[in-house]
Amino acid sequence: MIRVKIKSWTASFRYPTFQSGYQPTLPVPPLSTIQGILSAARGEIASFSEIPFVGYVFKSEGKGVDLERIYALGKTETDVIRREVLFDNTLHLYLPDEWEKYFRKPKFQLLLGRSSDIATVEKIEKIELKERANVPVGGTIVPIASGLPGLVHALPVEFDYSTTPRRAKIVKPFTILPFPRNLAQRKRQTYNGKLPYDPEIDIGVWLYEGLHGKV
Read off the CATH number of the domain in which 76 is found. 3.30.70.2660
Q: Which residues pair with 159 in a beta bridge?
A: 168
pLDDT, tens digit (0-9, with 9 covering 90-100), for 122-140: 999 999 999 999 999 999 9
Contact call for residues 10 and 25 (beta carbons, < 8 A): no
Q: Is 40 left (phi over 0), alpha (psi -120 to 50) or beta?
A: alpha
**From residue 14, how far is each of 31, 32, 81, 121, 191 by CA, in Å?**
13, 11, 13, 23, 27
Q: pTM above 0.85?
A: yes
Q: Is 48 left (phi over 0), alpha (psi -120 to 50) or beta?
A: alpha
Is 34 within the bounds of a domain? yes
pLDDT at position 212 is 58
The parent domain of residue 65 ranges over 2-130+192-209
The total of structural domains in the chain comes to 1
pLDDT at position 19 is 64
Is 150 within the bounds of a domain? no
pLDDT, tens digit (0-9, with 9 covering 90-100), for 152-199: 999 988 888 888 877 888 888 999 999 999 999 999 999 999 999 999
Instruction: Give the whole-angstrom CA distance, residue 129 versus residue 215.
Output: 21
Minimal CA–CA distance to 209: which of 8, 51, 25? 51
pLDDT at position 18 is 65
Is 172 within the bounds of a domain? no
Is 200 within the bounds of a domain? yes
pLDDT, tens digit (0-9, with 9 covering 90-100), for 19-38: 667 889 999 999 999 999 99
> 3-class DSSP state for residue 206?
coil
